[in-house]
Chain A
């Protein structure tokens, strides 16, 4: 643990106290990554800024065209939200694979994104949902497509002290699925994961969102596969063909968790299974 943990009550207070804080500082939301890193000796900030109770970051809000998910909303609160259930089908499908029930009671999407890991289940799902991320630094706001937040393993486009406020997901009716392969089927970091959203009309895919976890330096938006799917009829045949395309888009490595060629192949298997799982829902 660092020598100092501060807990501002509002965003305004955060920006006010920030200049006086020790320079080696990090945000603390759920703590499920940073505390573990600290215990493992991989985190040595002098100060943590606990943003877990800042009201602006704790809301789930609907507007006419989008759904706002606050960066500090607990994953388990997302899971229970009717709006999230309605508008974020891939995220809802991913949550059972997200860490463990106890960790979901602490973890947040903001932390999931800010950590910059290519295996973040929540982020991978949100990328497939076509989410944007809202950022703020000392009162200055900006917005990025979520997929563009990630620059490499543990590297993000976040500037020093820039804070993730939350995520905006477009309110468009779609189907969603999440398939994950990991050493243990639950409570485990993925070897490969695939998030899929499909907007369907008359059995035909109007728009697809495909994101891949753990098979590239970043949570990867599979743009080519998504583009190829648009206009196709959703079927087992389409799913098999898409599997072939997505394998070429993945850029996996071999590490302690799995092997590159296996991961590439699994992207295809998981995408095919995800798409096939949506076939029965497409007619509704």
Chain B
């Protein structure tokens, strides 16, 4: 491969300075002349029949402007997501406590909030569902279809019953995991500005500007070319700004359409907790079978997600969980059944890992239990069964050469001193009073991109434009949300064009400048937008390189010598010329200095009947070892160190990659040991950061991070995807470490001290 100037380098983040000095303009920072403010009127109860909505009292608040209800919706009152069961605003029935029933518009945000609290909703309470497993029972109240099932999938291969009968060893267990709140620094928000032609421009904090476009156009019944979505600097997403910003923006747009004035709608933290998407609570029963040599022979899974009141992204989240439910192993006989159940709670959706962390916690915990029964070291047991290039996954997909799973497992094993630590702990348990130390392992695979279930969305566009002064503007359809997309994509553009990195600017998404590029999710941005940029930049590159060659030749460089291009400089035969001069000449020659690019993911397949097919275009891989200390008297856990290794293909920016890994590990650890959102009688108990406790940087374990770059031929400069995988394997590694430390096997996340204490008491 030719030497790279920008890709593979730890170049500074494009947005570091504006964020560090507080100059970045988030949605809440933007002001427009004549702007009004909206606030939501929310359902107080888990399930109600709405009898009437009255603003009589609210009208007395100074600054009150109007009330917006479903009657103000010009379009169809269905938010277009997957199954279209979620109305923009409810008409007769509201299905979870915190759901927006109506909106109040006022001169100030304060007046809007005050007036919203005074809007009187008369209602009748209806019977509601809180538990997903109960929702699946025959005699349960029905709130979705005739079975409360949003979505269900199977994967079937071989003869599972027979394999279990023949098995030398089996392990089975029930596992559960709780919600996770995205806890982005910036809450949800949008500003909608009516345009003079009847159109609407929306400033939105979002990962998915095109979902916002779909929703606003639908709510207002406008053609897409009259709606423009401008992504504002987005203060964190983690999946929480995938689908729901479309709802928030639609509400702002309905208010703006009704009043004819710009309307700002910014969420408070409490309402953000109560009504915006979460990681699904999960429940799973998993069983594995192995032969006498410790080779996995079968896996049986029943996996249930608590979808909440509306389906939103549950079908897709569940599908990803289904595909990965057996873990990254060679298993001939598989029976996986999965369900997303409706309950009268907050609708759950995307969160880093997208349905995988819940089931991964279950199956990677159980793999340890099975290894113990077989009498093998858990790492040895995994190594015996892990997928390798050429192997087939449980969906029958044959893996290509970009699979470094065994190598990363070996790397973590070696760096963590696994073998010695396990041996030492067996032979001479150290006496440290009330504190016990332990180490645990996990291995993960992750299908990059949307896969077969989302394949119609798996394309992305880019627009690359070189101005006369040689500065480069790049528009893409995927969003920067803190993960570093603006930087990594600028590196890819600079590399392809041989433009100086400083001269390249990738902009936040403007839906009118690039075609619908799908969502910014599924660790797909580097791969999809990166490839689209390369496609756009390649013809420009040819023009630039040809022009550079001409200029160098004119300068007297011998044409027999090969021209090199590096770091914005073109050289040949001792002569050099920079990018700026070459671009000036291109413009002088009236060459086309802008291009559109497009990348569509290769074909994927999935048969609904048996779940067989090539589910994803490519997989990334991770391995984690966690070292923990357990206080034997209190059950309190401290995660001391995480060794992690990843195969995510070529690393475009090593410093940002390490940042993604550290952030994912900490977020995974936080979910594993702290985060505990609770409901009582259909009402969220702790919608605040006082009682919803999450890890801070003070809790961070020591990190030891390794990348083993297995090139992916289809990827931009051989890259795959990284965003999500660092989170997924942390919880089971920590749970396995707790077991190793003190013997307590805790089968539910969060791994609270209370649970460990109880397990220790039972012995």
Contact = CB atoms under 8 A, between A and B. Distances in A.
Contact of B636 (A181, A187, A189): A181
B633 A40 contact: no
Given A41-B270, A257-B691, A259-B754, A183 B685 contact: no
A259 B634 CA distance: 13
Contacts of B503: none
Given A40-B688, A181-B634, A257-B691, A265 B678 contact: no
A234 to B, nearest CB: 19
B754 A40 contact: no
- Give the size range of B's interface with the partner: 20 to 34
B636 A39 contact: no
Contact of B633 (A188, A258, A269): A269
Contacts of A36: 688, 690
Interface in A226-250: none
A184 B117 contact: no
A256 B690 contact: no
A262 B268 contact: no
Interface in A180-202: 181-189
A187 B695 CA distance: 11
B20 interface: no
Interface in B641-659: none
Given A40-B270, A187-B696, A256-B678, A262 B633 contact: no
Contacts of B690: 36, 189
Contacts of B699: 184
A123 interface: no
Interface residues of A, number: 22
Contacts of B757: 262, 265
A257 B699 CA distance: 19
A54 interface: no
Nearest to A182: B693
Contacts, number: 46
Nearest to A99: B690
Contacts of A183: 674, 676, 693
Contacts of A188: 693
A183 B757 CA distance: 14
A89 B758 CA distance: 34
Nearest to A254: B754
B23 interface: no
B640 to A, nearest CB: 13
A82 B686 CA distance: 39
A189 B691 contact: yes
A36 B689 CA distance: 11
Contacts of B110: 1
B21 interface: no
B698 interface: yes
A257 B633 CA distance: 18
Given A41-B117, A186-B698, A256 B634 contact: no
Interface in B727-763: 753-754, 757-758
A181 B693 CA distance: 13
A230 B636 CA distance: 31
Nearest to A262: B754
Contacts of B674: 183-184
A177 interface: no
A1 B114 CA distance: 11
A189 B690 CA distance: 7
Contacts of B676: 183, 256
B268 A39 contact: yes
B270 A256 contact: no
Nearest to A272: B633
Interface in B268-298: 268-270
A126 interface: no
A184 B638 CA distance: 10
Contacts of B678: 256
A256 B754 CA distance: 12
B419 to A, nearest CB: 32
B323 to A, nearest CB: 34
A5 B516 CA distance: 51
A247 to B, nearest CB: 13
Contacts of A257: 691
Given A184-B693, A187-B698, 15 more contacts: A36-B690, A40-B270, A181-B636, A181-B753, A182-B693, A183-B676, A184-B696, A186-B698, A189-B690, A256-B686, A256-B691, A257-B691, A262-B753, A262-B758, A266-B634
- List 6 tightest A-B contacts by C-beta distance, closest first: A183-B693, A256-B685, A269-B633, A262-B754, A256-B686, A184-B693
20 contacts: A1-B110, A39-B269, A41-B270, A181-B634, A181-B636, A184-B695, A184-B699, A187-B696, A187-B698, A189-B690, A189-B691, A256-B676, A256-B686, A257-B691, A258-B754, A262-B753, A262-B757, A265-B757, A266-B634, A269-B634
